[in-house]
Amino acid sequence: MRVTLGSSARSSHEPEFFSLKNRLVARAASAGGTGQAKFATGEAEYAPNGTMYGLAECMRDLSGEECNRCLQLLSTDLPSCCNRYQGGTAQNFNCRLRVQAYAYYDLAPDAPPPAAAPPAPISSVGKGRLQHAILFVAISVGTLFVLVAVLACVRRQRRRNKAKKEQQDNAREGMKYISLQVLRAATSNFSIDNKLGEGGFGEVFKGELQNGMKIAVKRLSKNSAQGFDELKNELVLANRLEHKNLVPLLGVCLQEKLVVYEYMPNGSLHTSLFSNSPDSTC
């Protein structure tokens, strides 16, 4: 739908006035269709001392090509209806074209858009709080690091002290620890041929160390309720005792529950190793 309207005042400056008006309409239509703002104005002087004003605009959602096509269509309609008048308007739903012999729009140039406001400076109070927060975080992290390092050192020192104390206790008690590898070699890997007997506590094997010493190895059953700590305490106590009827204790292997005695090929060995009486060393 297109609408064209002429102003009520008739022109007395023909035909120069009409020619100038048509050229202004065409120029405004061309400028409005090509600009990104979809808006353009123009002026033209005519004798005697007159000025003609033109305006062209489109809806902002139109493309440049659509706007130009719409304005060009109106620019052909406007002269056909309004050449008898000083001005006129042609418009539809998407664009508008107007020309008048008086200033009907604001002639002042558009004010430039306001410059972006600079970022607000950080106040001294805010800056101080930020510095305090950074300092607090740095101190907290440093303190945590030192605390972790101290705890690690304390734990390592405790382990060293515990190992040293155990060594001192072993030396004080005269307890000798024999490796499982040595006992396996001495008993031919606990061969059935070296087995001396078996009781409720486990088995006893005969063996021979590399230095030629004959030994008897008491191998406690895995199902035995006696734990390593109880075994160690019992062996320490047995190592302190000296009696003519007790078999000499040579050492212990805690990799398994193994007790090593001096081998005595007589009745006292059997009595000591297989006795179920409370006086038995094991």
Q: How many CB atoms lie within 10 A of CB 5?
A: 15
Q: What own/partner pairs with CB < 8 Å and gap ≥ 24 does 236-243 have?
A: 236/173, 236/175, 238/281, 238/282, 239/173, 239/174, 239/175, 240/173, 241/281
What CATH number corresponds to the domain at position 222? 3.30.200.20
Please give the annotated binding residues for ATP, written as ranges.
Answer: 218
pLDDT value of position 281: 40
Angle between helix 124-173 and helix 228-240 axes, rounded to 10 deg: 40
- Domain holding 10: CATH number? 3.30.430.20
Token code pair at residue 177: 């620890």
Q: What is the mean pLDDT of the chain?
A: 75
With cut-offs at 50, 70 and 90, classify the pLDDT of residue 113. low
Residue 45 forms part of a structural domain: yes
193 lies in some domain = yes
Find out whether 205 and 217 touch, Cβ atoms under 8 Å: yes
> How far apart are alpha carbons 86 and 77 in whole angstroms?
15
| Residue ranges making up the domain that contains 250 | 180-274
Per the CB < 8 A criterion, the answer to whether 263 and 217 are in contact is no
Distance, in Å, from the CA atom of 54 to the CA atom of 28, rounded to the nearest integer, reads: 6
Q: Are 201 and 220 contacting, i.e. CB atoms less than 8 angstroms apart?
A: yes
- Residue ending a domain, among 66, 84, 100, is 100
What is the phi/psi pair of residue 260, to 5°?
Answer: -110, 125
Task: Record the tokens describing residue 134, joined without a space.
Answer: 């950074």
Residue with tokens 């486990």: 202
Q: Is the pLDDT of residue 182 over 90?
A: yes
Sign of CA dihedral 32, 36, 37, 41: negative
Percent of the chain with pLDDT over 70: 60
121 has a pLDDT exceeding 90: no
Give 206's pLDDT tier (boundaries 50, 70, 90): very high
Which amino acids are annotated as binding site, given as ranges?
218
**Amino acid identity, residue 95?**
C
Q: Nearest 5°: CA angle at 193, between 190 and 199? A: 70
Q: Look at 47-51, 92-96, 183-187, 275-279 and tell me which has the smallest mean pLDDT.
A: 275-279
- Domain stops at, among 66, 100, 134: 100
Q: Cβ(258)–Cβ(222) under 8 Å? A: no
Single-letter amino acid, residue 69:
R
Higher pLDDT, 235 or 152: 152
> Tokens in use for 45?
């002087």
Residue 72 included in any domain: yes
Range in 79-93, 151-165, 191-205 with the lowest mean pLDDT: 79-93
Name the domain boundary from 100, 132, 152.
100
Q: Is residue 14 part of a domain?
A: yes
Query: What pLDDT shows up at residue 101?
Result: 79
Gap between the Cα atoms of 81 and 22, Å rounded: 12
- pLDDT above 90 (res 139): yes
Q: Look at residue 175 and tell me whether its pLDDT is greater than 90.
A: no
> Could you tell me the two tokens for 281?
């060393």
Report the domain count for the chain.
2
pLDDT at 143: 93
Residue 207 placed within a domain: yes
What whole-number distance in Å separates Cα of residue 19 and Cα of residue 234? 129
